[in-house]
Structure formats: structure tokens, C-alpha cells
Structure 1
Amino acid sequence: MNNQSKLNQSIKSLLLSSLGFLLVSGIATAQVDHNSELYKTLKEKDSVLFELGFNKCEIEKSEKIICDDLEFYHDKAGVTNSKEEFVSIMKNGICGDNNTEKVYRFLVEESLEVFPMYNNGELYGALQIGKHFFSTDKSMTYKKTDNYALFSHLWIIEENEWKLKRVLSYNHTSKEKSEN
């Protein structure tokens, strides 16, 4: 065996042992099944946050599932540094009396993924990622628009309840698809 073959074999061995370590340690945990309790729970929390809070302006319901120290990072609107600030923006913006054209949020169902997070084998949180789109038309489907964004939500278990801790909302686009 020449030196190049030995080097390639060593690299393969290192990669395989590293992957094995990650899997055994729980660091490389795959997304949960869409039928799992965790997936269903966080999908329901997404619905409370957006269907009730954003779309129907029942902000008090979504407010209950948000951590006080929420951080929301938006690629177009900047940073929101607390639950109080986020709720104020909802009340005075999307759901405000001066809002002349209501915008609705729609989840692209098949895009939703949930990744559990463990500390020494104990579930403490989960990362929820997906794609959603926004429209003033309640009947809009994502197949008719390119007005979408990606999101990442960090959910934490706080006093035995799932709470939204961190939000990244990014890759917002706003071009409409042609109807051809």
C-alpha cells in the first residue's frame, strides 16, 4: 500500500469514527418523524403562534407560548429583543387599527422539520425549521407565489411547557409567479 492509499484509509477511518461518536453522543440527531408526539406538539405551537396570533390577531393566546427574553432576528425588519416588544409590534402592526390590508401567514406543510435537542440524554428543546409565505389573499397557496421566507424556531422546555425562545426569519422574497 502506497503512502496516498494509507492517507486515504486514515481519513476514511477518522471520518467513520467521528460520525460514530456523533451518533452515539446524540449530537447528530436526525429530525423526528412527522407522526411523533414532538413533531405534532411543535406543529400545534406553530399554529397557535401564527394561525391564532398572526392571522386571527388572538395575540394573548400566542403570547403565552413565548419566552420573556425572546430574540427575533428578521432579515428585513431587524431585531426584536423581548416578548414585550414582539407583542407590541403585533398589536400595533399586523393587528393594529391602522393596518389597512391584513397580511396572512401560511405554512408550507411539507417543509416543516423538527430536530430534538438533548442535554445528557434529557430533552430540553427543539429546533423547528420550515418555509412559510405571506399574502393578503386568504385563499393563496404557495404554488401561486414566490413570496416566501424560511424560518428557524428554537423551542425550549420552560417549567414543563414549550416556549419560543429564538426566531430566525430569513430569505424573504416578494416576486409573484406567473399564472401560465
Structure 2
Amino acid sequence: MPVLLGLGLFAFAGRTAAADPSPERTPEALTQHVATLDGALFDAFNHCDDPAQLARHADYFDAAVEFYHDNGGVTWTRDEMIGRTRDNVCGKYQRRLVAGSLKVYPIRGYGAIAQGEHTFCATDGGDCGGMADFTMVWREQGGRWQVTRVLSYGHRPAPPAP
């Protein structure tokens, strides 16, 4: 009996994977797509002192996004995360992706994982003293991509600019 149950689960898993609604992308195309999403998400973040840009930024996140920050703790919803962004970031800091650091990994039937490093610079163009690693899980549903999980960790001083 356990063998039959195992075969049934295997058959079910095969049907689920075959029903993947998202088109297959080459690794290069997926990386470019997620890099474009990352750029748009953080363009809005970098201008979030404008309420329309803050709303645009929020739209990139699932309503039940989980955000894990090694210094700031955990937020469990988009509203809570955006409230913290509005109160602590907007008009004060901008995010810059460290060139060449973005790595993208597909999640079959779901979306992708993006990992990289970023710096945070004072909005006035001054100090870029903070740096961190990040991991974001992107979900694609019906052609719409949203972030469902964020890890921001390893916060440290950024190396001096050359």
C-alpha cells in the first residue's frame, strides 16, 4: 500500500508541475526581467516622499508580505512595512543596487528568488554609509509580479567610495 500511495503522490506532483501557468524563460531573460522589476520597485522607493511613488512602491508587494530585517525586526503585512518605510526612509535615504551583485534563481510554477547587495545613501546625495545583503521572493500570477518575502540582513558600513 505505501508504494501505491507514493506513486499517487508522484503522479499528482507531476500534474501540478505540468500545470505551470507561467511561460518558461531562459535564465538570462528571467534575470533581466527581475532586474527590471527591481529597478522599478526601488525607483519608486527612492522617490517615496511623493505619496504617488510610495503607493507605486507598495503595489510591488503582496498584501501579506513578510519582511525580515536583522536590525528592524519583522513586519507581517504590506501596510505595516510601508508605514515603516514612510516613517523611516522616505525623504531620508535612497537605495542603490551594488553593480554586478544581483543573482536570480527561478522557482518553477511560482516566480523567482533575487539576491544581491545594496547600499543606502542619504537623499541629499551625501553619505552612502550603509550596506546590506537582500533576498526577495517574487511571485508571478496572471502576468503580475509581486514580492511575497524579503530578507534584509548583514547591515554594515559600506566601503569608502573610490
**TM-score over 0.5 (shorter chain):** yes
Residue 40 of structure 1 corresponds to which residue in structure 2?
Answer: 32
The residue type paired with residue 117 of structure 2 is K
Q: Is the 8 A contact 2:65 2:149 kept in 1?
A: yes
Partner residue of 2:41 out of 49, 56, 64 = 49
Structure 1 runs not aligned, ≥5 long: 1-31
Look up the match of 2:95. 105
Q: 1:64-83 maps to which residues of 2 (within 5 A)?
A: 64-83=59-78
TM-score, normalised with respect to structure 2:
0.72
Q: What secondary structure sits across from 2:34 in the alignment?
A: helix
Deviations 1:124-149 (A, max 9, x none): 21000000011116657xxx967311
Aligned AA (2:40): V
Equivalent pair of 2:104/2:114 in contact (CA under 8 Å):
yes
> What is the CA distance between 1:65 and its match in structure 2?
1.6
Q: Distance in 1 between matches of 2:161 and 2:61?
A: 38
Aligned sequence identity (%): 30
Work out the CA distance in 2 between the residues paired with 1:114 and 1:107.
Answer: 14
Question: Could you tell me how far apart the structure 2 residues matched to 1:161 and 1:175 are?
Answer: 34
Relative to the length of structure 1, the TM-score reads: 0.65
Question: RMSD value over aligned CA atoms?
Answer: 2.4
Question: Counterparts of 1:138 and 1:127 in 2: how far apart (Å)?
Answer: 31
Describe the shift of the 1:145–1:124 C-alpha distance in structure 2 as closer, same or farther (beyond 3 A): same
Find the counterpart in structure 2 of residue 89 from structure 1: 84
| 3-state SS, counterpart of residue 118 of structure 2 | strand
Higher relative contact order (CA 8 A, sep 6+): 2
**Distance in 1 separating the partners of 2:147 and 2:135:** 11
| CA apart distance, 1:92 | 2.4
Q: Rg larger in 1 or in 2?
A: 1
Q: Find the aligned partners of 2:41 and 2:102 in 1 and give their Cα distance.
A: 15
User: What amino acid does structure 1 have at the position aligned with 2:151?
Assistant: L
2:113 maps to a residue whose letter is L
Q: Aligned-pair distance for 1:160?
A: 2.6
